[in-house]
């Protein structure tokens, strides 16, 4: 049973690492093409890959790049989505106050848009603790490291 759990965790890490490699290779191409939308989406995907791999500082850096590009384009939903992801990364890194700030910023945009994600995010902000929230990725990464050893 333990071997199965290690294999499952290792497979997940491998898939996220593979996604990160592909996304990293894509950024210069999108920059050359001037595709700011695609570049923003790619930085957001890179952030998610790093977050799933437990590299929260790098995830935060990627989400900040995505946020900058998405703000330049003025797409409020994409900005809100990236703010939510950035909040998730801050929570996983142990910075709950900054996570809540980013989620609040995302909620303001979702409310302006009348988007159906707003009530879920509002409910999350009311929770005293984030049971099963994005920090589960941090816990998952930590448990994988305990079983498989540190990445690298």
Domain ranges of the chain: 2-132
Given a cut of 50, whether residue 3 has pLDDT beyond it is: no
* Architecture of the domain spanning 2-132: Alpha Horseshoe (1.25)
- Residue 144 is predicted with a pLDDT of 32
**46/48 Cα distance (integer angstroms):** 5
| pLDDT band (50, 70, 90) for residue 21 | low
Burial of 57 (0-12, 13-18, 19+ CB in 10 A): exposed
Q: Please give the average per-residue pLDDT across 136-141, as a whole number.
A: 37
Give per-residue pLDDT as tens, 22-51: 566 677 777 788 888 888 999 999 999 889
Q: Please give the average per-residue pLDDT across 50-60, as a whole number.
A: 91
Identify the residue with better confidence: 4 or 89.
89
Is the distance from CB of 66 to CB of 82 less than 8 angstroms?
A: yes
């Amino acid at each position: 049973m333990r071997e199965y759990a290690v294999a499952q965790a290792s497979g997940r890490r491998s898939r996220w690492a593979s996604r990160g490699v592909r996304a990293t290779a894509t950024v210069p191409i999108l920059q050359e093409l001037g595709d700011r939308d695609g570049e923003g989406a790619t930085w957001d995907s890179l952030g998610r890959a790093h977050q799933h791999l437990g590299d929260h500082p790098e995830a935060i850096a990627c989400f900040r790049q995505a946020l900058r590009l998405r703000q330049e384009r003025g797409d409020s939903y994409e900005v809100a989505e990236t703010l939510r992801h950035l909040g998730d990364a801050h929570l996983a890194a142990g910075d709950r106050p900054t996570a809540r700030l980013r989620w609040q910023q995302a909620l303001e945009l979702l409310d302006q848009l009348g988007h159906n994600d707003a009530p879920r995010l509002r409910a999350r902000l009311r929770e005293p603790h984030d049971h099963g929230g994005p920090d589960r990725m941090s816990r998952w990464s930590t448990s994988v490291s305990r079983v498989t050893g540190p990445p690298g």
